[in-house]
Structure 1
Amino acid sequence: MDSVSQIALGSALTIATLGRRTAVWKAAFWGLVAGTLPDLDVFIDHGSALANMINHRGNSHSLLYLLLLSPLLGWGIARLQGEGAHWRRWWLAMALVLVTHPILDWFTIYGTQLLRPFSTEAYGLGSVFVIDPLYTLPLLIGIGVALCRRSFAGLRANRIGLALSCLYLGWSVLAQQYVGGVARESLAAQRIAAPQLLVTPAPLNTLLWRVVAMDDTHYWEGFHSLFDPDRTMAWTRHERGTALQAQYAPQAPAVQQLARFADGFVKLERQGDALYLSDLRMGSEGRYSFRFLLGSPAEVAAGQSRAEQQPLQLPVGEALRELWQRIWHRP
């Protein structure tokens, strides 16, 4: 999730765990710090934009490593605050904050390597978008009330914010499963055989969902709003560039690396005299969040490929209008 959501979750959990054992602002501050720690890996340069993408949410998001860090962090904060008698409570708070950070990231589709060092598999449920105000706002409101009303009522408001945010995550999973069923019915009715299915929410909400269905050579993209009057989805068919992948993947490690990271949901295309590699999971057709220039076909064939991330040029106002219209079934 985005940094604001992780900070809000960290602060809310620490306030709830410490209760009246420390000042609310102290709990909120240290929750903010701990909630930010795992994402500091973005400052590590792994040599290329693609390598940075794949290695983000790696060791710093390992459940094991974060659990091992939590007693040291909790003890250090307790000593620094002069609250040594409560160091176990600080340990519990830090453990909760650190572990829930990658778990919250798991709800997005990006890919979080939860089981390092035993596995580099990147897990992503994909039931929430990386930025979702309906998840974050209850946390922020609860924290704000707790900071302003330093009483039992403030602590209760913080707990209510946490409960609402958890319920929202549960709702997102149920909505995802429903849309997945709608997509499978629609594909079967239109006689589209695409065994691999990806269901993710459109930006900023869990009312409009994007579905990608994929076979060995093509993929179909469709959208379904929970307000659509029927369960029929419209699909657009696109080439995955499998012939290009077979031709250039041996000389371009980036193709194999991204395909493994994205569970095969990638596209390789040629535009003019350049080859582009896209992650189909994030964004939409023509607007992919992660799109990499590999070089010219001659460069790639000669083993001189690169992976330069292309900036996403998105007219925000127009995109938000399109999003709002499509949610209410006004394409």
Structure 2
Amino acid sequence: MDSLTQIALGSAVGHAVLGNKVGRKAVLWGAALGTLPDLDVFIPYGGPVEAFTYHRGFSHSLLIHLLISPLIVWLILKIHTGMQAYKTRWFELVFLCLSTHALLDSLTVYGTQLLWPLTEYPFAISSMFIIDPLYTLPLLFGVACTLLPKINSTRAYKINTTMLVLSSMYLCSSLILKVIVDDKVTTVLSDRQIKVNNYISTPAPLTTLLWRIVVMSDGQYYVAYASVFDEPNEVTLNAYNTTPSLLNDINNEWGIKRLQWFTKGFYNVRQQQSNIILSDLRMGMECNYVFNFVVGVKTNTGIDEGNYEKISQRPQLSKMSNIWDRIWDSKVSLAQANTKSGCH
């Protein structure tokens, strides 16, 4: 999730655990700990693929959080002397602020290595978009109440805890909506006799009322948009071409295998001039994907391994209003104009 949300979550959790004992110190430490796991973005991993696939690795591991929490508690008690009586509660605060960060990230589609180093598997439930105001705003309101001097500490504690519960209920509602939408899309795919090799659904930007679905099939992939208010026959479904055979000459390279693994098979391969581009289909919109890599270069003798340069093609903000319209009207199209020809 975005940094503001993680700071708000850490602050809210910190105050819920220890705010009634140490006041605003719990909020400030919660904010810092809610940010800490994402500092791995400043680590020089050695290349674009490494940075893409190692992010949310060890720093998001629940096992590492468990091991490092006593050290952080020791540091906190060195700074705030005279709080040894709350040592156990400080441990709960530290571990919960770190672990809730990782667990929240695992609800997005990116992938979070919760059990590193036992496994590098990137857990991704994909029930939340990386930015969702309906989740973040209650957290911010609760935290703001803990910082306002005119609200007494007991009332602030109750408000913050209530907002934390409400935001958690919103997370649960996203899981329910995901099941509802998946059921509709499954019906559509069955009715249209589309072969499904791989399937994923994730919320559209800023909402859990509209979902984007990617279906990998033989020689192409399908993208569907489904509102929670759609009937199955109103679900929009469009086909796009992909050319995985472009990777035949370089398929054994570490970078290729790593991207195929991390994207869980949801990738598009296309030729753009002399470059071979691999795009992660899980994040972005057709044909503007957030993560694209130059994995190969076409030469006179075949295709050589590329430099894995990252190319960002973020969706246009002008299309955001169409997302809101599509929630209520199934006739609104979010598809690229020429869906059969693929992305160029």
Query: Structure 1, residues 235-270: CA drift from partner, whole Å, max 9, x if none?
Result: 1112231221334323x4322211101111111111
Q: Following the alignment from structure 1 to structure 2, what is the Cα–Cα distance between the partners of residues 19 and 314?
A: 41
Shift of 1:41: 0.4
Stretches of structure 1 that go unaligned for 5 or more consecutive residues are: none
Shift of 1:192: 0.9
Q: Does the 8 A contact of 2:289 with 2:312 survive in 1?
A: no
Which amino acid is 2:294 matched to? L
What residue number does 1:112 align with?
Answer: 112
Which amino acid is 2:101 matched to? H
Instruction: Note the 1:70-149 alignment, pairs <5 A.
Output: 70-82=69-81, 83-148=83-148, 149=151
Aligned residues: 328
What residue number does 1:56 align with?
Answer: 55
Q: Following the alignment from structure 1 to structure 2, what is the Cα–Cα distance between the partners of residues 214 and 176?
A: 19
Q: Following the alignment from structure 2 to structure 1, what is the Cα–Cα distance between the partners of residues 314 and 76?
A: 43
> 1:104/1:300 Cα in 2 relative to 1: closer, same or farther (>3 Å)?
farther
Would you identify which runs of 4 or more consecutive aligned residues in structure 1 move more than 3 Å? 229-232, 299-304
Q: Following the alignment from structure 1 to structure 2, what is the Cα–Cα distance between the partners of residues 299 and 54?
A: 31
Which amino acid is 1:188 matched to? S
Q: Does 1:308 align with 2:309?
A: yes
Shift of 1:231: 4.4
- SS of equivalent residue, structure 2 residue 124: coil
If the length of structure 2 is used for normalisation, what is the TM-score?
Answer: 0.91
What residue number does 1:177 align with?
Answer: 179
- SS of equivalent residue, structure 1 residue 14: helix
What residue number does 1:261 align with?
Answer: 262
Q: Following the alignment from structure 1 to structure 2, what is the Cα–Cα distance between the partners of residues 116 and 299?
A: 43
Shift of 1:304: 4.2
Query: Structure 1, residues 78-121: CA drift from partner, whole Å, max 9, x if none?
Result: 33112222121111110111111111111001001111111111
Q: Following the alignment from structure 1 to structure 2, what is the Cα–Cα distance between the partners of residues 324 and 242?
A: 34
Q: Does the 8 A contact of 2:34 with 2:101 survive in 1?
A: yes
What residue number does 1:282 align with?
Answer: 283
Q: Following the alignment from structure 1 to structure 2, what is the Cα–Cα distance between the partners of residues 205 and 16?
A: 27
If the length of structure 1 is used for normalisation, what is the TM-score?
Answer: 0.94
Shift of 1:67: 0.7
What residue number does 2:342 align with?
Answer: none
> 1:259/1:174 Cα in 2 relative to 1: closer, same or farther (>3 Å)?
same
Q: Following the alignment from structure 1 to structure 2, what is the Cα–Cα distance between the partners of residues 222 and 254?
A: 29
Stretches of structure 2 that go unaligned for 5 or more consecutive residues are: 333-344
What residue number does 1:228 align with?
Answer: 230
Q: Report the aligned-residue RMSD.
A: 1.7
